Structure 1
Amino acid sequence: MVKHVIIWTLKDNFSEKEKQEIKASIKEGLEGLKGKIPGLLGIKVYTDGLSSSNGDLMLDSMFEDRAALSVYASHPEHVAVADNKVRPYTKIRSCFDYEVK
């Protein structure tokens, strides 16, 4: 299995209210992919980090294997969420993928 973890930082020009709405929209969009993409075993977005966090939200997802992660990356439903709900609002994206043994 492969874990795919991303931490995003939102752009600075949003109010706190706007940031909460954006985070909720990203969560809804990404978690809505469950059951729609082959090989995607689990997907969860965390939006309420502790004060020690240096990102605004985190994606924690699990795939059957590397091939399934590759399918996800280019799947039209994932690309639509990324293009419409994530990329326009984020300034920093940090990713860490690893195999679970």
Structure 2
Amino acid sequence: MVKHIILWTLKDELSAEEKDQVKKGIKEGLEGLAGKIPGMVDIKVNINGLASSNADLMLDSTFESEEALKGYAVHPEHVAVADGKVRPYTKIRSCLDFEV
């Protein structure tokens, strides 16, 4: 199994209300990929970080293998969510992929 963890920080120019809407859209879009990506075991997006956090939201996903993770990266449905709901609104992306 492979874990794929992403932390995002949203762009500064977004208002608090806009950030809430963006986070909800990212969560809905990414979690909506469940069952659609070959080799994806689980996908969750946390949008309710504590005030002590220095990131705005987190993707926690699990794949059967590194090959499945590579397939997810280029899967058209994932690319559509990333291009439409994530990349336009994020300024920092940190990623950690590891075997479990």
- Cα distance between partner residues in 1 of 2:54 and 2:3: 21
Task: Tell me how far 1:50 sits from its aligned partner.
Answer: 1.0
Task: Tell me how far 1:56 sits from its aligned partner.
Answer: 0.2
Equivalent position amino acid for 1:69 in 2: L
Task: Tell me how far 1:24 sits from its aligned partner.
Answer: 0.1
Structure 2 equivalent of residue 63 of structure 1: 63
Structure 2 equivalent of residue 90 of structure 1: 90
Structure 2 equivalent of residue 35 of structure 1: 35
Task: Tell me how far 1:51 sits from its aligned partner.
Answer: 1.4
- Cα distance between partner residues in 1 of 2:18 and 2:87: 15
Matches within 5 A, 1:41-56: 41-56=41-56
- Cα distance between partner residues in 2 of 1:71 and 1:35: 14
* TM-score normalised to structure 2 length: 0.99
- Cα distance between partner residues in 1 of 2:4 and 2:59: 8
1:88 is paired with a residue whose SS is helix
Structure 1 equivalent of residue 2 of structure 2: 2
User: Which portions of structure 1, spanning 4 or more consecutive aligned residues, are displaced by more than 6 angstroms?
Assistant: none
For structure 1, the 5+ residue unaligned runs are none
Among the aligned pairs, what percent are the same residue?
70
Task: Tell me how far 1:14 sits from its aligned partner.
Answer: 0.8
For structure 2, the 5+ residue unaligned runs are none
1:5 is paired with a residue whose SS is strand
- Cα distance between partner residues in 1 of 2:75 and 2:30: 12
Greater shift, 47-56 or 82-91, is seen at 47-56
1:87 is paired with a residue whose SS is helix
* TM-score normalised to structure 1 length: 0.98
